Amino acid sequence: MWTLSVEGPPLSQRKPPSHSRKTPRCSPSSFLPNVLQCPSSSGKLSRDTRGKFKKKHIVLVIFPLLLLTNPIRAQTPTPSREITVIRAGTLIDGSNASPRKNQLIFVRGNRIEKLTEASAQIPTGATVIDLSSATVLPGLIDSHTHIFLWGEDPAKGGYDENILKAGIALRAARATFACRRALEQGFTTIRDLETEGAGYGDIEIKQAIEEGTIPGPRIFGATRAISTTGGYNLEGYAPELEMPKGAQLVDGPVEARKAARQQLEHGADWIKVYMTHRSWVDKQGNLVSQPTLTVEELKAIVDEAHGWQKKVACHAYNGIGLQRALDGGCDSIEHGLEITDAQIAQMAKQGTWYCPTISPYYGDWAPADTPGGKRDRARAATHEVSFKKALNAHLKIVFGTDIGGMPWTDSMAQEFKRMVGLGMAPMDAIQSATSRAAEMLDMKGEIGVIAPGAYAELIAVAGDSLKDVGELEHVRFVMQNGVVFKNEMTK
């Protein structure tokens, strides 16, 4: 990994670009105000020094330099201090159980100032955006994404191809595309749960978004993720070969805590842990998952993360690994394909979040008569049962797609149909992607809600998303941070 020498608060708490380690000593060009002049990055390495660099090191420094040396600084949309007033025909505020009709949303800077009835006076000089024929909602939150995955086709080399053949610059370019896709679809916040071998790239991409270099959602990044020896890809190669791994592998509580510390040091907003790895169907037809970390290993990670006021997301399918995840005190269960009644009760008691990510388990099934095909069908069938149990127990459910596992050209909002199809009320499904997710992310009242004081992050759809939640697959208006990013409604 590239090593950094930094002082001060964790990267995630820094405000770019003034404290950014990636934008040193750049100043606006006197000829072109939007062009920054930066000292030559290559000038930092003498010819001799460069000569001593091994290829591996050169590859690792290219990615940050790409972000550093782009001479044309994107024009960061700066929200006007003037008032913008949005006419909302129907307002779903992300928190209330019922929609409201004919509301005015007053936006000043990057925050919502107030909401009023449509009859209220609009100040002269205000910019008015007429969405009176539309349904306006808060910007959506996807609590499980992978901007560094590309929905790799198993027939074309799958996951391994991404790590073995795609260089870090290509992966950064694809992640940039992914971020734009998320924002275009109305997702103004994502929790990105692991870079799959791309190191701390999520924190770098987040920085590029925050400084306005590329468009994208607010990112809560988990960096490298943690699993154990025998607990993550790449695998299946000759044992003599030391293969790169898609996660940071640890054995024992000391290594586990150290990995958490390293990831937190380099800006992780969340820690992602794999509590299960391989899964298969046994002779009795039961879904079985290989457990990875012990309770002691997980407890070391959770203890460390909580000390930094960060949370831990646990990938856990079922069985021993899911039980260890709960006993170790994880904050969110990812996927949770098979959750027993006792585990549902434990989640309710501990306040554990459930991020089911239903959609990916319905694609690319192997033929029914193969071991892989049996496993794929068993996963989907038991997942449906678990989701319904979680609904009945009123567990805290958040919307997550695992997109990246699916191609980024797919619809993220397709997950709403899955959730509603399994019995979730449309308003609850919307809130799982707005105020509930905001609560999990410790951003309650700031995102995922249209209310005074919240960030001005709004979307609009043409139809009634409570009658047809599929409307959310056709987001036509996106405001991010008080600035219109997309508007197909009022043209």
Encoded one letter per residue, x for contact with Zn ion by CB under 5 A and - for no contact, window 349-388 reads ----------------------------------------
Q: Which is nearer to Zn ion, 384 or 402 (CB)?
A: 402
Nearest approach in angstroms of CB 186 to Zn ion is 21
Give me the least distance between CB of 334 and Zn ion, in Å please.
6
String of DSSP letters for 353-379: EEE---GGGGSSPPPTTSHHHHHHHHH
Q: Pairing relation of β-strands 270-274 and 353-355?
A: unpaired
Binding mask 150-189 for Zn ion (x = CB under 5 A): ----------------------------------------
Give the total of residues touching Zn ion (CB under 5 A): 1
Determine the interface stretch with Zn ion among 109-117, 365-373, 401-409, 418-426 (rule: CB under 5 A).
Answer: 401-409
Is omega for the bond preceding 164 within 30 degrees of 0, making it cis? no
| Structural contact between residues 222 and 194, judged by C-beta atoms closer than 8 angstroms | yes
3-class SS at 390? Answer: helix
| 332 contact partners, CB below 8 Å, separation of at least 6 | 143, 311, 312, 313, 314, 352, 353, 354, 355, 398, 440
SS3 label, residue 458: strand
Selected range binding Zn ion among 222-230, 282-290, 363-371, 394-402, rule: CB under 5 A? 394-402
Do 249 and 228 contact (CB within 8 A), yes or no? yes
- Exposure of 154 in the CB half-sphere (CA atoms within 13 A): 6
Residue type, 133: S
Among residues 352, 351, 438, 424, the alpha carbon closest in space to that of 389 is found at 424
3-state secondary structure of 432: helix
Nearer to Zn ion, 402 or 471 (CB): 402
The DSSP annotation for 177-231 comes to: HHHHHHHHTTEEEEEE---SS-TTHHHHHHHHHHTTSS---EEEE-TT-EEETTS
Nearer to Zn ion by Cβ, of 93 and 202: the residue is 202
402 scored as a contact of Zn ion (CB under 5 A): yes
What are phi and psi for residue 486, nearest 5 degrees?
A: -145, 135
DSSP string over 122-172: PPTT-EEEEEEEEEEEEPEEEEEE-TT-----GGGTHHHHHHHHS-HHHHH
Residues sharing a CB contact under 8 Å with residue 144, sequence separation 6 or more, in sequence order: 191, 193, 334, 355, 357, 400, 401, 402
Nearest residue to Zn ion, scored by beta-carbon proximity: 402
Closer CB to Zn ion, residue 107 or residue 313?
313
Question: Shortest Cβ distance from residue 118 to Zn ion (Å)?
Answer: 42
Nearer to Zn ion, 205 or 456 (CB): 205
Q: Give least dist CB 350 to Zn ion, A.
A: 22
Residue 202 or 402 having the CB closest to Zn ion: 402
Q: How far is the CB of 422 from Zn ion (least distance, A)?
A: 19
> H or E element: which one contains 415?
helix 414-421
Cβ–Cβ < 8 Å for 208, 11: no
Nearer to Zn ion, 304 or 402 (CB): 402
**What is the torsion angle, in degrees rounded to the nearest 10, for the CA atoms of residue 274, residue 311, residue 401 and residue 228?**
-10
Interacting span for Zn ion (CB under 5 A) from 76-84, 151-159, 397-405, 424-432: 397-405
When the beta carbons of 361 and 485 are compared against Zn ion, the nearer one is: 361
Site pattern 192..211 for Zn ion (x: CB under 5 A):
--------------------
Q: Which stretch binds Zn ion (CB under 5 A): 202-210, 377-385, 387-395, 398-406?
A: 398-406
Q: How far is the CB of 442 from Zn ion (least distance, A)?
A: 21
439 binds Zn ion (CB under 5 A): no
By beta-carbon proximity to Zn ion, the closer residue of 139 and 405 is 405
Tell me how far, at minimum, the Cβ of 193 lies from Zn ion, in Å.
5
- Closer residue to Zn ion, CB minimum distance, 196 or 338: 196
| Shortest distance, position 476 Cβ to Zn ion, whole Å | 29
CB of 196: closest distance to Zn ion in angstroms? 9
Q: Which of residues 241-270 bind Zn ion (CB under 5 A)?
A: none
Q: Least separation, in Å, of the C-beta of 28 and Zn ion? A: 40
Residues lying near Zn ion in the complex (CB under 5 A) are found at: 402
